[in-house]
Structure formats: C-alpha cells, structure tokens
C-alpha cells in the first residue's frame, strides 16, 4: 500500500485550488456531464451524482459486470468469499462481525464499513487520506495480504482470472463493459467494474428523505425532536456528520475540492497520553504524528440502525453505547487491556464534550438515527446477488 503523509495531501489539495482552479473546474464539469448524459443515475431531484474518474466512465454494462463480480466467490483465491461476504445488502453492505474475517480466516483490525453512498467519500478506509478514490481502495481487498481478504496474490492472479476467461457469460460481460480494451480480464478492469457498481449503492429513500422532500409526517414526534437535537449546537452531531451524506468527508461531481477530515471522539486513552490500542490508531498509522492518534473518518450514518456493531473496531454493540459516549464526552473503560479515560483523551475533537443528555434526549437521538434506514435500498433487487444461488 502506498502511504503518503496527511500533510503532503493537504499541500497538494491547496495548491490545486490556488494554482489551477479554473482548469480543474472546466475538466470536472465536462467529465461529469458526459458521464451523466450516458448513464442514468436515478437519484432524487437535487442530489448530484458522485465524482467519476475520467478513465472509468459509468455504463450499465460495467455496473452489471461489477455487480456480478461483487457477489462471485470466484474472485477469491480459495473461492470461499466474495466482496458480499463482508458487505451484506441486508446490513446496508456492512457486516455484523466486529472486524472483517477473510477468506482464509484471517481477522482484520477494522470493522467492515457500510457501503451506503460510498461513491461520495473523499477518502476510503477508516483513516487513510491516500486512498482517495474507489479505484485506489478496491484493489486492496482483492490482493491485500495484511490481512488476507480475498487473497488474490500476484501468483494466484492467472488462476483466478482464468476462471473468468473460461466462462462465456463473463467473456461477453467484460467485452460489453470495456468494448475498447483487447483483453479486459485483468485486475485493473475488475477493479474498475467493481468501482462502477459501488457508485450505484445509493440510498436516498429513508423516512428522513421523505421528510426533506416535504412530507411533514414522515418523522415521528420523537424522530423530529432527535433531528432538531442532531442538527443543533446542543448535541453537535452535524459538525462531523453533516450534509445529506451525514459525513464531512464527502463530495459530489460539482464539488471543487476533495476535503478530507479525521476526528478523535475519545473512544480510548490507554496510556493517559491519548493513545488508542496499538496498531489501530487511525490517521496516526499513516502520519506518525501524536496529535493524529485516534483520528478516524466520520462514517455516514445512513442505515446506521442495521450496520452494528459500531466504530472502526466494532467495539460498540449498540446505538445506546454511542449516545452514552456523547453524553459523557468520551468512553471510559474501567478494566482490561484497553482500560483508560477516553473522556480525558487530549486529542479529542473540541466538539466531543460532556453533554449529560436526559433520557428523553438519548431516546430521541436514537429514534432519529432509525429514521435514516432506507428499506428500499437494503432490499433493492438491482443491488442484490445476481446469481440467486444458481451461478453460471
Ligand atoms: C474479509 C472481509 C472483507 C471483504 C471480503 C471485502 N471487504 Fe471491503 N472492507 C472490509 C473492511 C474490514 C473494511 C475497512 C478497512 C479499513 O478501514 O481498514 C472495508 C472497507 C471497504 C470500503 C471502504 C468504505 C469506506 O467508507 O471507506 C470499500 C469501498 C470496500 N470495502 C469495498 C469492498 C469490495 C469492492 C470488496 C470485494 C473486492 C470488498 N470490500 C471485500 C472488509 C472486507
Ligand atoms: C468530532 C466529530 C464527530 C461528532 C461531533 C460526532 N461524531 Fe459520530 N463519529 C465520528 C467519528 C470520527 C466516528 C468513527 C470513530 C471511530 O471509529 O473511532 C463516528 C462514529 C459514529 C457512529 C458509529 C457509526 C458506525 O458506522 O460505526 C455513530 C452512530 C455516530 N458517530 C453518531 C453520532 C451522534 C449521534 C453524534 C452527536 C451526538 C455524533 N456522532 C457526533 C465523528 C463525530
């Protein structure tokens, strides 16, 4: 994995805006409109499509290929797993295991993210600014060896790709998805098709969306109160979980900049000096800067009621625990190897303060989070397993 420092990416982002804003703008607009005109996004009015890289324009054929690959165990070395083994539609493409468990049984340190509206993020993984497109990220679960997920190492690639080359249906699907490429059954194009499918995992039909669209009765009175709290200065959730994506690290095809943010919410403080458990300290793993300890991307909260357990390491089982953390301004752990006063973590964001929510406020916040569940998304046949357990 290429690790570049956080500082380096900030500098690049800044020089981008100052130096060549007008050129960038023009390019982006052209790309977006040409992509949009040939691909029907099916997004609600007012919601812009995600950014799409110039070299991977969207097409129906590519999305359909990506969907097949996403659900196909042929894409793991030992044919035990597919992407959908850790990203299940019924759980908004997250997993109910605390951490990812790969095709060989290896455990990762991190909880599999929900892929709800994943095309809109400005960084991928829980904390890595260098992984700034789906194309850059998706190669990792396929070939990564620390930990092994699908386990398609360089030596295994010919064997794995042959499974697709020897299958007529796949030959035709690859040809339709990449008509200008002579032999597209290669890692690069597998990743591109998967990225295109991932950009269609869009969820904008929750009760909250109906409320936004003008249906005043879409939220219950408790959800309405929870909404007002969430969006206000008392609970302060919206600072990091902002906008229609409920995450500050998002952009769309009209955005000029890819702004990335990482925050410490006081989940741990194992040494009284702000450390998180070793090897899983978020942005710090990339930058080695003390002040980056415990900083992670604020995940979208759409469909959060079905994506438990929570946090980068799955260490919170319920939304109640999350709300307790915010009520206390961090999480104190009394005993065990991770014991420590998260409420005293020196690197906590300024927004993470003791709020002492009343029981009613806690219940209302949780009720609001439940209003972000989009049942159409988690049952949409177009996003479901195309093999229907039959295969081809
Ligand atoms: C063994 C379980 C497992 C498999 C298989 C797997 N993933 Fe993941 N996925 C994870 C975990 C764990 C993370 C969090 C990674 C991290 O932050 O270190 C993740 C993160 C992601 C993200 C980043 C989302 C975000 O918000 O940053 C995307 C996109 C993704 N996976 C797509 C895929 C695709 C596509 C495949 C198939 C090629 C796949 N995954 C296979 C476990 C898995
Ligand atoms: C300072 C920024 C910030 C604020 C303010 C904030 N969050 Fe978060 N939130 C995060 C980050 C970062 C994570 C992931 C932290 C981690 O894994 O270590 C997170 C995780 C979560 C999760 C778990 C999501 C998942 O998929 O695992 C929930 C639920 C959540 N926040 C709800 C809230 C609520 C409700 C509020 C307001 C009371 C709030 N947050 C305020 C940054 C913030």
Q: Which H, E and C letters describe 5-51, residue by residue?
A: CHHHHHHHHHHHHHHHHHHHHHHHHHHHHHHHHHCCCCCCCCCCCCC
Please indicate, yes or no, if residue 337 is contained in any of the structural domains.
Answer: yes
- My answer on whether 219 and 192 are in the same domain is no
Q: Are 298 and 247 in contact (CB under 8 A)?
A: yes
Q: Which of 25-39, 80-94, 173-187 has the lowest mean pLDDT?
A: 25-39
Gap between the Cα atoms of 332 and 334, Å rounded: 6
Place of tokens 């890819």: 258
**pLDDT: which is higher, 25 or 145:** 145
| Mutational pocket test of ligand 1: of 72, 86, 89, the residue with most ligand atoms within 8 Å of the beta carbon | 86
Q: What's the pLDDT score for residue 38?
A: 80
Please indicate, yes or no, if residue 382 is contained in any of the structural domains.
Answer: no
- My answer on whether 229 and 350 are in the same domain is yes
Ligand nearest to the CA of 128: 1
What mean pLDDT do residues 228-250 have? 97
**18 pLDDT more than 50:** no
pLDDT tens digit string along 343-368? 999 999 999 999 999 999 999 999 99
Q: What's the pLDDT score for residue 389?
A: 65
Please indicate, yes or no, if residue 1 is contained in any of the structural domains.
Answer: no
Using the mean position of ligand 2's atoms as its centre, give its distance from the Cα of residue 249 in Å. Answer: 13
**19 pLDDT more than 70:** no
If we measure between CA atoms, which residue out of 291, 206, 273 comes closest to residue 246?
206
- My answer on whether 257 and 118 are in the same domain is no
**28 pLDDT more than 50:** no
Mapped onto helix, strand or coil, the DSSP state of residue 340 is strand
Question: Is the minimum distance from the CB of 310 to ligand 2 under 6 angstroms?
Answer: yes
Q: What's the pLDDT score for residue 302?
A: 98
Q: What's the pLDDT score for residue 388?
A: 79
- My answer on whether 171 and 255 are in the same domain is no
pTM above 0.85, yes or no: yes
Q: What's the pLDDT score for residue 49?
A: 98
Mean pLDDT for all residues in the chain: 90
Please indicate, yes or no, if residue 387 is contained in any of the structural domains.
Answer: no
What mean pLDDT do residues 366-373 have? 98
**Residue-number span of the structural domain to which 214 is assigned:** 207-376
∠ CA 42-46-51, nearest 5°, is 65
């Amino acid at each position: 994995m290429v690790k570049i420092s956080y500082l380096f990416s900030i500098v690049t982002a800044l020089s981008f805006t100052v130096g060549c804003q007008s050129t960038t703008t023009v390019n982006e607009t052209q790309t977006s409109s040409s992509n949009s005109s040939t691909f029907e996004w099916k997004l609600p009015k007012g919601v812009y499509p995600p950014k799409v890289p110039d070299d991977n324009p969207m097409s129906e054929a590519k999305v359909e290929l990506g969907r097949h690959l996403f659900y196909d165990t042929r894409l793991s070395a030992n044919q035990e797993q597919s992407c959908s083994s850790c990203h299940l539609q019924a759980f908004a493409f997250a997993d109910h295991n605390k951490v990812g468990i790969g095709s060989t049984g290896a455990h990762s340190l991190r909880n599999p993210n929900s892929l709800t509206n994943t095309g809109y993020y400005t960084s991928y993984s829980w904390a890595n600014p260098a992984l700034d497109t789906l194309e850059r990220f998706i190669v990792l679960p396929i070939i990564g060896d620390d930990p092994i997920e699908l386990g398609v190492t360089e030596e295994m690639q010919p064997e794995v790709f042959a499974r697709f080359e020897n299958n007529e249906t796949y030959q035709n699907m690859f040809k339709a998805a990449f008509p200008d490429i002579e032999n597209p059954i290669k890692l690069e194009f597998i990743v591109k098709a998967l990225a295109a499918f991932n950009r269609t995992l869009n969820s904008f039909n929750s009760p909250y969306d109906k409320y936004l669209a003008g249906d005043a009765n879409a939220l219950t009175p408790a959800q309405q109160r929870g909404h007002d709290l969430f969006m206000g200065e008392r609970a302060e959730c919206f600072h990091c979980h902002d906008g229609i994506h409920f995450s500050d690290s998002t952009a769309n095809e009209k955005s000029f900049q890819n702004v990335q943010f990482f925050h410490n919410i006081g989940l741990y403080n194992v040494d009284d000096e702000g450390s998180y458990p070793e090897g899983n300290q978020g942005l710090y793993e990339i930058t080695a800067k003390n002040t980056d300890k415990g900083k992670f991307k604020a995940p979208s909260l759409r469909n959060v009621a079905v994506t438990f357990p929570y946090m980068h390491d799955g260490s919170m089982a319920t939304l109640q625990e999350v709300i307790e953390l915010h009520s206390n301004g961090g999480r104190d752990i009394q005993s065990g190897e991770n014991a420590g006063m998260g409420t005293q973590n020196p690197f906590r964001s300024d927004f993470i303060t003791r709020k002492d929510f009343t029981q009613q406020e806690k219940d209302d916040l949780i009720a609001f989070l439940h209003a972000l569940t989009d049942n159409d998304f988690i049952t949409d046949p177009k996003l479901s397993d195309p093999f229907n357990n039959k295969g081809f």
